[in-house]
Structure 1
Amino acid sequence: MKRVLVLFTSMSGNTEEMADLIERGMDGQNIDIVKKQIDIDNVSVDELKELDGILFGSYTWGDGDLPDELEEFYDDLGDVKLTGIRAATFGSCDSMYPHYGAAVDILRDKLSERGADIVLDGLKVELTPDEDDEQECLEYGKAFGQLLHK
């Protein structure tokens, strides 16, 4: 059985909703969802080495920054090798800002830099997921699960 960590931070609940939908999209694919955390400070980067896959979600703060609650974890990622682990990133975004969904891209780049195999483009949803976005999140989870088994 494959082990996946769905890891996210959410301020308004939008990214949390995406995480729930993505997780549901992996149902029935013989995948053990290891942990789903709102408080990133409770997760150690060492836990990542024991996984087959990581789905990492975050909202973007301000003009394109990571949220404060991710800073320490993000810095700690610089000390871990993720070679052989499949990964993808997601998050709710706000097109009012010039760097739309920058946190999704920042996290993708960091995971890739640490050796993770980025298997899907980052999934970005404008604010609260609507019905079409919900379906896209479900499909994202399904696709990730299928790629995990290849």
Structure 2
Amino acid sequence: MSEMIMVFASMTGNTEEMANAIAEGIRQTGNDLEINDIIESPSASRLEKFDGILLGSYTWGEGDLPDEFLDLYEEMDEINLSGKKAVVFGSGDTAYDQYAGAVDILIEKLKERGAEIVLEGLKVDTSPSPDDIENCKEFGKEFARHLNK
């Protein structure tokens, strides 16, 4: 089985709810993962030790990465993620022109560092509905399948 790490930032609990559902989906496949809130997050170099990387973030303002994600984001410039598989998820608000822009920012950074993005970024409008939670679980299962191919 592949080793996976999830790092997420959540201000109101919406992205954390997504993270928990994705983790549940992964565990339903018999896999496990290390989960880190961005506040307690290890350095970016820790990401290199895992086969699968899941990053989750809410979007701040008009489509920005939240401040608490900036250190990890900048540290990622120093790492090589070639051969790693990754996905990104997060909550946003469709009222803004740039919907869940943090997801797109993190996908681009992972690609820059050589990671293979295996699923389209998962975005939820504000608070996850029961259907969104089910989609998150399926997202986790699908990511685990990509890693175990």
| TM-score with structure 2 setting the length | 0.96
Letter matched to residue 33 of structure 1: L
Match of 1:66, SS state, is coil
Question: 1:61: which partner in 2?
Answer: 60
Letter matched to residue 7 of structure 1: V
Write the mapping of 1:97-116 to structure 2, written as runs, cut at 5 A. Answer: 97-116=96-115
Question: 2:48: which partner in 1?
Answer: 49
2:70 is aligned with 1:76: no
Match of 1:90, SS state, is strand
Write the mapping of 1:32-47 to structure 2, written as runs, cut at 5 A. Answer: 32-39=32-39, 42-47=41-46
Q: 1-side partners of 2:80 and 2:2: how far apart?
A: 19
For residue 33 of structure 1, report the CA deviation from its aligned partner: 0.6
Q: 2-side partners of 1:12 and 1:91: how far apart?
A: 12
Q: 1-side partners of 2:21 and 2:28: how far apart?
A: 14
Checking the alignment, whether the CA contact within 8 Å between 1:2 and 1:30 is kept in structure 2 is no
Letter matched to residue 127 of structure 2: T
**Residues 21-41 of structure 1, C-alpha deviation per residue, up to 9 Å, x if partnerless?**
00000114342312332415x
| TM-score with structure 1 setting the length | 0.95
Runs of 4+ in structure 1 deviating by more than 4 angstroms, as ranges, are none
Checking the alignment, whether the CA contact within 8 Å between 2:38 and 2:68 is kept in structure 1 is no
Per mean C-alpha deviation after superposition, the further-off stretch among 21-30 and 117-126 is 21-30
Pairs aligned (count): 149
Question: 1:15: which partner in 2?
Answer: 15
Checking the alignment, whether the CA contact within 8 Å between 1:7 and 1:56 is kept in structure 2 is yes
Q: 2-side partners of 1:116 and 1:64: how far apart?
A: 23
Question: 1:149: which partner in 2?
Answer: 148
Q: CA RMSD in A?
A: 1.1
